[in-house]
């Protein structure tokens, strides 16, 4: 949710470095973008509405030797999508520029006080109070203490980067939203996400909450509450720059879908210890709860079925934003398994913090090293899915499912079977991703693209994946899709079926098969157009997409087929950039 990038260094093209960095962060928000560059004792500013995509930086900012610049790509919270509301926000003298990620919860109170003191506001954002606050403090102290004092007045979870026209330093501070520092040769970086700086350096510091950092001739790390300097702890990124590029693919979404066989294999061959550790924690716990939001919540829901079926173990599940209201029963014996690609989702981070206070053990399954959730957790399982750039989650979901499946089989002392199934799933995906299969999917996408609704049904494990398939179609193609448990249809939903209404039916070779086929018959009898996905064709299917029979791992090809269908539906509907669906952001750091 909003991307921040800052640079101080000797390369002489700070403006371009920041501009390129923002392009890599654009998936975090793409309502507007802006850059501020220091030229002599002035700050130049360039702001635009819309995606940074193929835009150009104003040549005034890029054609001189620049050594300090900051940038921002916005996902709007307070104030509409306008140039005035785009970042940076400036103080009255236009010498202080601020880029911000988060929400200043007390901005109205602060704004009223600042207006009384004569400050002029030109935007509707909460952010604009920050430069004016810094301006106030600068009347009596230096830049670093002014930023610290200003930041300490803000309520909420925030990250800021501040530049000052007469200073060679930029200052970053955070209480909640992510910030990572990169240390290069004679240059320092700050960004909302390590994937934006990995092409410059792999030596990074993930900034803890309540810290401030001064980037100048050297890097100085400071504790926000008392202003004490502390020693930074460096980490080395294991990501490759190529991971942040589309390569031969038209979109990141497609690239990431095609990376999934490899993601599964990595888990099969390298996650023995992780699965054993997690299985041991579940065995010992008195109550285990999995948490996730959106796609990760469907992975968690699938997890409850997997642990029940395979390991005969009851593992609870809740969506992250609701767990706040459910966790009163947690004790020191409880185990919480938060699942998150970004590790920054506030609806996960917040209940986890609360659970920690109650003494529960936290075993996080997360894709991003150094993320907030990663740091919160007592035990961490990194998903190893690599950088996921498309806003729509794909390979991280498959990695989550693979880790949960392997853990369930490990808990049942059938680890080898779990590995075999996953390897078969990774093999089957090669077929699903092959030309013949994809051409067939494109045809089906063409048949569905003008339908008003698409319904998707499944039972058991396939109910969880029906929900995930639905989400992929909604966010990628903007078509209305709904997922249901097959058995629920007759309790009301069936009223929605009309002649020609498409209904995708997940029919694996498990105990749900016959009942879901009956549900498909019920839909067909009311005019529904049935698309079956599973190992066995059936008369009821008008269209059929075959998966191998891979036991519990059959859900993997089910989901990958849905991801591809969603992608080709988007293309069939003329959606230009399925990597960045409207209104969404990759990392949701606000409530």
**Could you give the residue numbers annotated as active site?**
2, 586
C-alpha pair distances (Å), 291 with each of 343, 374, 375, 579 = 12, 14, 17, 25
Continuous segment of H or E residues that includes residue 423: helix 415-432
Kindly tell me which of 348 and 564 has the beta carbon lying closer to ligand F6R.
348
Q: Return the residue nearest ligand F6R (CB atom).
A: 294
Sole residue written with tokens 């990663």: 374
Q: Which two tokens stand for residue 309?
A: 């079926």
Candidates 165, 293, 404, 503: give the one binding ligand F6R (CB under 6 A): 293
Kindly tell me which of 336 and 348 has the beta carbon lying closer to ligand F6R.
348
Kindly tell me which of 9 and 393 has the beta carbon lying closer to ligand F6R.
393
Q: Tell whether residue 256 is a contact of ligand F6R (CB under 6 A).
A: no
Candidates 130, 154, 160, 348: give the one binding ligand F6R (CB under 6 A): 348
Contact segment (CB under 6 A) with ligand F6R among 28-36, 150-158, 288-296, 532-540 equals 288-296
Q: How many residues bind ligand F6R (CB under 6 A)?
A: 14
Q: Tell whether residue 295 is a contact of ligand F6R (CB under 6 A).
A: yes
Burial (CB count within 10 angstroms: exposed 0-12, middle 13-18, buried 19+), residue 542: middle
3-state secondary structure of 70: strand
Contact segment (CB under 6 A) with ligand F6R among 42-50, 148-156, 159-167, 338-346 equals 338-346
What mask, x for binding ligand F6R by CB under 6 A, covers residues 303 to 322? --------------------
Candidates 363, 471, 473, 530: give the one binding ligand F6R (CB under 6 A): 471
Q: Which two tokens stand for residue 346?
A: 């506030």
Across the beta sheet with 89-90, what order do the strands follow?
A: 89-90, 96-102, 158-164, 170-174, 211-215, 219-223, 229-230
Contact segment (CB under 6 A) with ligand F6R among 132-140, 230-238, 282-290, 341-349 equals 341-349
In whole angstroms, give the CA distance from residue 15 to residue 17. Answer: 6
Candidates 294, 528, 532, 534: give the one binding ligand F6R (CB under 6 A): 294
Candidates 104, 296, 364, 385: give the one binding ligand F6R (CB under 6 A): 296
CB of 337 to ligand F6R, least distance (A): 13
3-state secondary structure of 236: strand
Kindly tell me which of 315 and 392 has the beta carbon lying closer to ligand F6R.
392
Contact call for residues 556 and 533 (beta carbons, < 8 A): no
Sole residue written with tokens 């090809």: 557
Sole residue written with tokens 């952001």: 585
Q: Tell whether residue 563 is a contact of ligand F6R (CB under 6 A).
A: no
Kindly tell me which of 14 and 383 has the beta carbon lying closer to ligand F6R.
383
Q: What residues numbered 392-411 form the site for ligand F6R, per CB under 6 A?
A: 392-393
CB of 588 to ligand F6R, least distance (A): 5
Candidates 67, 77, 345, 361: give the one binding ligand F6R (CB under 6 A): 345
Kindly tell me which of 158 and 345 has the beta carbon lying closer to ligand F6R.
345
Residues paired with residue 100 on neighbouring β-strands, in sequence order: 160
CB of 335 to ligand F6R, least distance (A): 19
CB of 326 to ligand F6R, least distance (A): 18
Q: List Cβ neighbours of 474 (8 Å cut-off, separation of 6 or more).
A: 480, 481
In whole angstroms, give the CA distance from residue 482 to residue 573. Answer: 19
Contact call for residues 172 and 212 (beta carbons, < 8 A): yes
Q: Tell whether residue 475 is a contact of ligand F6R (CB under 6 A).
A: yes
Contact call for residues 36 and 43 (beta carbons, < 8 A): yes
Q: Tell whether residue 562 is a contact of ligand F6R (CB under 6 A).
A: no
Q: List Cβ neighbours of 97 (8 Å cut-off, separation of 6 or more).
A: 36, 43, 45, 70, 88, 89, 90, 131, 162, 163, 164
Candidates 35, 425, 467, 588: give the one binding ligand F6R (CB under 6 A): 588
Query: What is the DSSP annotation of 86-154?
Result: SSPEE-TTS-EEEEEEE--TTHHHHHHHHHHTT----SS-STTHHHHHHHHHHTTS-HHHHHHHHHHT-
Rounded-to-5 percentages of helix, strand, coil across the chain:
40, 25, 35
Q: List Cβ neighbours of 544 (8 Å cut-off, separation of 6 or more).
A: 531, 532, 533, 537, 538
Nearest to 238 by CA among 217, 266, 218, 275: 266
CB of 59 to ligand F6R, least distance (A): 37
Q: Tell whether residue 479 is a contact of ligand F6R (CB under 6 A).
A: no
CB of 547 to ligand F6R, least distance (A): 21
Kindly tell me which of 28 and 111 has the beta carbon lying closer to ligand F6R.
28
CB of 567 to ligand F6R, least distance (A): 12
Kindly tell me which of 214 and 263 has the beta carbon lying closer to ligand F6R.
263
Radius of gyration of the chain (CA): 25
Nearest to 305 by CA among 234, 235, 405, 388: 405
Q: Measured in whole angstroms, how far is the alpha carbon of residue 36 from the centre of its chain?
A: 27
CB of 340 to ligand F6R, least distance (A): 3
Q: List Cβ neighbours of 456 (8 Å cut-off, separation of 6 or more).
A: 466, 469, 470, 473, 481, 482, 483, 484, 503, 504, 505, 506, 562
Sole residue written with tokens 């300097």: 229
Contact segment (CB under 6 A) with ligand F6R among 95-103, 125-133, 253-261, 342-350 equals 342-350
CB of 345 to ligand F6R, least distance (A): 3
What mask, x for binding ligand F6R by CB under 6 A, covers residues 366 to 395? --------------------------xx--
Kindly tell me which of 35 and 296 has the beta carbon lying closer to ligand F6R.
296
Q: Tell whether residue 341 is a contact of ligand F6R (CB under 6 A).
A: yes
Between β-strands 170-174 and 158-164, what pairing exists: parallel, antiparallel or unpaired? antiparallel
Kindly tell me which of 17 and 569 has the beta carbon lying closer to ligand F6R.
569
CB of 330 to ligand F6R, least distance (A): 20
Applying CB under 6 A, which residues contact ligand F6R? 293-296, 340-342, 345, 348, 392-393, 471, 475, 588
């Amino acid at each position: 949710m909003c991307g921040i990038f800052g640079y101080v260094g000797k390369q002489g093209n700070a403006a371009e470095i920041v501009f390129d960095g923002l392009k890599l962060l654009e998936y975090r928000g793409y309502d507007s973008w802006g850059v501020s560059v220091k030229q002599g004792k002035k700050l130049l500013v360039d702001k635009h509405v819309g995606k940074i995509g193929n835009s150009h930086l104003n040549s005034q900012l890029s054609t001189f030797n620049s050594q300090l610049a900051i940038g921002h790509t916005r996902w709007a919270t307070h104030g509409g999508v306008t140039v005035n509301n785009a970042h940076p926000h400036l103080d009255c003298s236009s010498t202080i520029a601020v880029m911000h990620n988060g929400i200043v919860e007390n901005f109205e109170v602060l704004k009223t006080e600042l207006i009384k003191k004569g400050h002029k506001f030109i935007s509707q954002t909460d952010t604009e109070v920050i430069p004016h606050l810094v301006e106030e403090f600068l009347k009596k102290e230096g830049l670093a203490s002014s930023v610290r004092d200003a930041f300490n007045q803000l309520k909420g979870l925030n990250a800021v980067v501040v530049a000052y026209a007469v200073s060679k330093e930029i200052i970053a501070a955070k209480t909640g939203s992510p910030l990572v520092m990169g240390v290069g040769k004679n240059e320092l970086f700050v960004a909302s996400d390590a994937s934006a700086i990995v092409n410059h350096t792999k030596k990074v510091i993930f900034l803890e909450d309540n810290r401030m950092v001064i980037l100048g001739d050297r890097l100085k790390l400071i504790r926000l509450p008392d202003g004490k300097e502390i020693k930074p702890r460096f980490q080395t990124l294991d990501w490759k720059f190529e991971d942040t590029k589309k390569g031969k693919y038209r979109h990141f979404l497609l690239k990431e879908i095609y990376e999934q066989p490899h993601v599964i294999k990595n888990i099969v061959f390298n996650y023995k210890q992780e699965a054993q550790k997690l299985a041991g924690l579940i065995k010992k716990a008195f109550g285990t709860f999995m948490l996730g939001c959106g796609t990760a919540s469907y992975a968690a829901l699938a997890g409850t079925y997997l642990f029940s079926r395979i390991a005969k173990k009851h593992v609870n599940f809740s969506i992250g934003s609701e767990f706040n209201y459910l966790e009163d029963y947690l004790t020191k014996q409880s185990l919480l398994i938060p699942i998150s690609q970004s590790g920054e989702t506030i609806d996960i981070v917040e209940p986890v913090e609360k659970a920690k206070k109650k003494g529960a053990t936290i075993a996080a399954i997360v894709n991003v090293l150094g993320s907030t959730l990663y740091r919160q957790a007592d035990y961490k399982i990194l998903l190893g899915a690599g950088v996921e750039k498309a806003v729509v989650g794909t390979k991280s979901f498959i990695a989550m499912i693979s880790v949960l499946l392997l853990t369930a089989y490990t808990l049942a002392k059938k680890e080898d079977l779990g590995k075999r199934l996953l390897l078969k799933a990774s093999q089957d995906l090669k077929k699903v991703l092959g030309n013949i299969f994809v051409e067939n999917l494109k045809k089906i996408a063409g048949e569905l693209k003008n339908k008003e609704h698409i319904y998707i049904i499944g039972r058991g494990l396939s109910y969880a994946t029906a929900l995930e398939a639905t989400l992929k179609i909604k966010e990628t193609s903007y078509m209305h899709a709904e997922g249901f448990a097959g058995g629920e249809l007759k309790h009301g939903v069936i009223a929605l079926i009309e002649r020609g209404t498409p209904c995708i039916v997940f029919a694996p070779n498990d105990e749900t098969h016959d009942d879901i086929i009956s549900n498909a018959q019920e839909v067909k009898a009311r005019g529904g157009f049935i698309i079956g996905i599973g190992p066995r064709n059936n008369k009821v299917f008008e269209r059929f997409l075959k998966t191998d029979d891979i036991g519990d791992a059959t859900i993997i090809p089910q989901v990958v087929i849905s991801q591809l269908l969603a992608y080709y539906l988007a293309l069939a509907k003329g959606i230009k950039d399925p990597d960045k669906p409207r209104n969404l952001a990759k990392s949701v750091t606000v409530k």
